[in-house]
Every structure is written in structure tokens, then in C-alpha cells.
Structure 1
Amino acid sequence: MALDEEIAELDALIEARFREHPHAEVIRSLPGMGTKLGAEFLAATGGDMGAFGTSDRLAGFAGLAPRPRDSGRVSGKRRRPRRYHRGLLRTMYLSAMVSLQCCPVSKAFYDRKRSEGKGHKQALLALARRRLNVLGAMIRDGKYFHASPPVTGAA
């Protein structure tokens, strides 16, 4: 009972601390990113997206950007980098899994990757990479997630 109370207190502290961050609402607007995953994302990135520069560097840090593994006549092989932040990879992977249930845009992207011949894990990692790029752009611009792009009238 005492451990359950301690866990509840820690969860409340984490949630309160997360809500104080200036990008908390932007992060939570992305389907599949709740308070806990958002807090893990901020803890992994340090809360400063400017330190990475581009979304490609952030994806490399997360282990979602494959590196070339070419040698001699072999070309086109790719592998996960040896050094990456496993916590950030876990966060984006879990958010991608949750988004399959609640976000039709993510489900359509996943289905498209599966129809291209990718396996479940490959398609899920591709979705995690896409979501990381979207999240980086949302934080950079300070905008909330929109399920469909805004419709603009022809001028």
C-alpha cells in the first residue's frame, strides 16, 4: 500500500513538472503522446530542440535514422547506429503503437508501409520516425497537431 501511494505521488509530481514546460501542450496534442511519454520525451531530449538543429539529427539520436553499412561491392545496406538513446527510441515506438489505435493518419501511413512489403516492426519504426519529424516541426513552430492539413482556397 505504501509503495502504491509513493508511485501515485511520483506520478503526480511528474505530471505537474511536465505541465510546467512551455512545450507540454504542443507535445500532448500529438495523438499517442500522453503525459508520461511526453515527460520521457522531454527528459531524453533535455527539453531543448535547438540543440539538435534538424529533425534528422534528432532521429539519429533516437536510433530511427539508419546508417549506411556498405563494404566493397555491397551497397545499400543500412543498420541502426551503435550509439543511440534507447529511452527516446522506446518513447517514440510506444507512441507509434498507441497512435495506430487513435489516429487515422498514423494508421493510413502504417497501412501504406505494410502494403509496400514492410513487416510490422519496420512499418512501426517508419511511423515512429515520421512522428518524430512531425513532433520536431510542431515544437519548432509552436503549433498543435491537426489531423488533416488546412484547406486553402485557390487564389
Structure 2
Amino acid sequence: MVAAARQQTVNLPGQRAAAVVVGQMATEILALEQRIAAVDDLIAEQLDQHPLAPIIASLPGMGALLTAELLVHTAGMTEYDSPAKLAAHAGLAPVSRDSGTVSGNHRQPRRYHRRLRHILWMAAFTAARECPTSRAYYEKKRAEGKNHRQAILALARRRVDVLWALIHDRKTLTRPASTIRAAA
């Protein structure tokens, strides 16, 4: 980019100053990319040392960063006694909105851990696109009349149960070779 700017034959007012600024910005961007890569390496190194990381990462849609964030926001999954409590903390479990003789009404909770919900949402969203089993569950929920958002939340809730079972059994999720997409 800087070399292309220097090879121009037409001179405009402020061109030299703009070229200096562009060069400085390009240098700063490269430095930031190197710092991000170093932090990613540090996260991967720390993740390799955590006993639950391979189990969580085996779930479709859970990459290294989402796995690390999930472990951080759940204190290594030690704060919860059941998958229902984890789902409730993440805002994936509906709360009752009953009043008087009216019962059976549910709504989205107002108090929940928004970042945790976002992590589980992103993983479910990715899994609905990439994993045939998750896609089938998503399509089933859509056929039941749920909209896209409701179907993804239902999938996220279901995946909390699966994740809890995997952690409880200390097993990683294994998928048939035909369902694993090759990296592009």
C-alpha cells in the first residue's frame, strides 16, 4: 500500500501527508495483528492445560475462543449443580409469568448473564449451519412453529444438556467422519 502510494505520478495537495498517515496506520495495523496473534497463542496454550477444554471444544460450533470464554464465564463449570442452573444463568430457560388464575405463561428472563448467553447462542447458530444433527433439531423446532430466534435458543438449551452430559462422563463428542467438514 505504501509502495503504491510512492509510485504515483500525479501530485495532489496533502498527498505527502496522507501517504505518511497511511504508512503509519498500516504499520500500526500490522503491529496490532501481531499482538492479536500472540494473545491467541497464549489463549490456546492456557486452553491446552484445562481438563475440560477438549470436551467443550468437541461440541460442534465451539471453537477455541468460545471454549475459553465459556470456561472463564462459568468459572470452569464449577458453579453449577445441574444443566438447568447453567441454562437459567445464561437466560436459556423461560421464567413463569403467571398471575392470579392465569398460569402457564412464560417469558424470557430479564436477569441473566448476557455474555454467557451470547457464547451459547453463537455456538448453537454455528452448529445449526455446520452440524447435521443440530440442523435437524433446528428444523424440527421450526416445523413446530418456532421462529428462527426461538429455534436457535431451543438448540442452545439442548446443547447445554449435551455439554453437561459430556462433562459429567468426561468424554468428548465423536462425530462420524462423513459429518466433519474439511477446512477450506
TM-score (ref. length: structure 1): 0.89
1:105, 1:147 within 8 Å by CA — same for their partners in 2? no
The percent identity for this pair of structures is: 49
Whole-Å separation in 1 of the counterparts to 2:169 and 2:112: 26
Tell me what 2:96 maps to: 68
- Report the AA paired with residue 28 of structure 1: A
Tell me what 2:168 maps to: 140
Pick from 20, 25, 29 the counterpart of residue 49 of structure 2.
20
Whole-Å separation in 1 of the counterparts to 2:63 and 2:138: 20
Pick from 96, 99, 103 the counterpart of residue 127 of structure 2.
99
Q: Which has the larger radius of gyration?
A: 2
Whole-Å separation in 2 of the counterparts to 1:48 and 1:58: 9
Deviations 1:49-80 (Å, cap 9, x if unpaired)?
A: 3x211110110011101110111233222122
- Report the AA paired with residue 124 of structure 1: I
Tell me what 2:59 maps to: 30
TM-score (ref. length: structure 2): 0.76
Whole-Å separation in 2 of the counterparts to 1:83 and 1:18: 29
Report the 3-state secondary structure (helix = DSSP H, G, I; strand = E; otherwise coil) of the residue aligned with 2:112.
coil
Deviations 1:103-152 (Å, cap 9, x if unpaired)?
A: 1110110000000000000000000000111111111110111448xxxx
Report the 3-state secondary structure (helix = DSSP H, G, I; strand = E; otherwise coil) of the residue aligned with 2:101.
coil
Query: Unmatched 5+ residue regions in structure 1?
Result: 149-155
Tell me what 1:151 maps to: none
- Report the AA paired with residue 95 of structure 2: R
Tell me what 1:128 maps to: 156
- Residue 5, structure 1, aligned to residue 43, structure 2: no
Report the number of matched residues: 147
- Cα RMSD of the aligned pairs, angstroms, is 1.3
Query: Unmatched 5+ residue regions in structure 2?
Result: 1-29, 177-184
**Larger relative CO (CA 8 A, sep 6+): 1 or 2?**
1
Pick from 117, 131, 140 the counterpart of residue 89 of structure 1.
117
